[in-house]
Structure 1
Amino acid sequence: MSYSSALHLVRGVKSRLAHSGVEADALFAQAGLNEGDGLACDALTLSDKLSHLWELVVEHSGDPLIGLKISTPHRLGWLGVMGHIMLVSPTVQSTIERCHGHTRVGIVLPGLERSVPLQRYDFVWCVLLRTLRCASGRDDARPVAVEYAFPEPPNVAFYEQTFGCPVRFNRPHNVMEFADADLVAALPNGGGPTPHDSSAMPVLTQLAHAAPPSFTARVQNILAEMLPKG
């Protein structure tokens, strides 16, 4: 199966890596991520190739923080449609739940035969935060906590500097948590309509105002309605 969203993702990552001085073309070829065949493989195989790519990038750069550095969490810029790719990518499984006034977004990057490296999660979390900042027009939007289901690395301070919040490791799941009040405040007019809404705004508005116990169902309905529109 060929995934157009995955092609956009691969091209975006390759562009940013090349801009950072990484020999992107050679590493992508080594990982088997060839655009010529439209990434014609099943979702789990594609996920393994992306994980392999991140392993090669870390090995080549010698920098375990590169997943954070090549995608600092500011506005979308070069990523463009990456926020939507986060929602529809065949290699990302996500959950959204609310608890005590907070919204917790969890992700699982599945694999077939290869473990998913920490740096790949770093990059995806930066993409998620970048999406929120782009949609809200606020570069200071930030989560209240980030959790990783990975052992604690020696550079936790850099993680907290990047995300602007406490970052915890050795947790059961990979989660980024937002205060509901901050999500609403981050939207123009406090979540009200605006003539300049981006395509991501209706999603964020409905997420911010959704209420349990139907929150997950509403998110699923929103995404289902958006998929035919790209």
Structure 2
Amino acid sequence: MIGLIGYGRFGRLTVKYLSPEFTVVVHTRSKDKAADILSAGGRLVPLEEACAQRIVILCVPISAMQTTLRQIAPLLTAGTLVADVCSVKEYPAQWMRQWLPEGVEILATHPMFGPDSAAKSLHGHKIVICPERIAAERYGKIRAWLAQKGLLVIETSPSEHDRKIAVSLSLTHFIGRSLSEFGAVPLDIDTEGYKRLLHILGVVNNDTWQLFEDMHRFNPYARGIREAFMAAMARIDARLQQNTSH
């Protein structure tokens, strides 16, 4: 059995893909989600029951991770595996090592897909995993199961993940949010490039502001990438100003 803590859009997706093969129980503070959890294939339970499962998956916002870990730590038994699905990895991995008992195994993960991109299938999507504290046999079985689902499994360290994701995800969302703030809208006279920009805007607007803020606040490399990008834009603008002045 698998215990899920947290039930947002990604939590629902997780239940959807796990429930055909596993019994999934879910704990969330939103008590009105019971019917939706049931329709996705899970069952709403108290926190104690969710933590009593052999595998516990944390689907909570990054900013709620430490509070959640402190709450569940006394409820976990030796041999339980705790996995997170945060879009940053250094801090969550550090927090899990800090707050979880020694006998609890830890797997830091970042599924590189979401409710929109994986609505129909997991096949061809990527998942990043960082084996922080986990038995080799269990880790091998999890990797094999993920690959069986058609996922491309990428093993790396939390720091390497955050360096790369600061560019591929945090910067992309920064550009998308900036386009939204700018007021970019579909135009009758447009280009394929502009349509692709609007696609980025649409993707990021489907996610919460909290997720956007957390992926920058809790990624130690995001601010540097963001500042480097804005500096590059300023240099390009300066060249245009210089070369187009009359």
Does TM-score exceed 0.5, indicating one fold?
no
Greater strand percent: which structure? 2
| TM-score where L is the length of structure 2 | 0.36
Q: Which structure: larger Rg?
A: 2
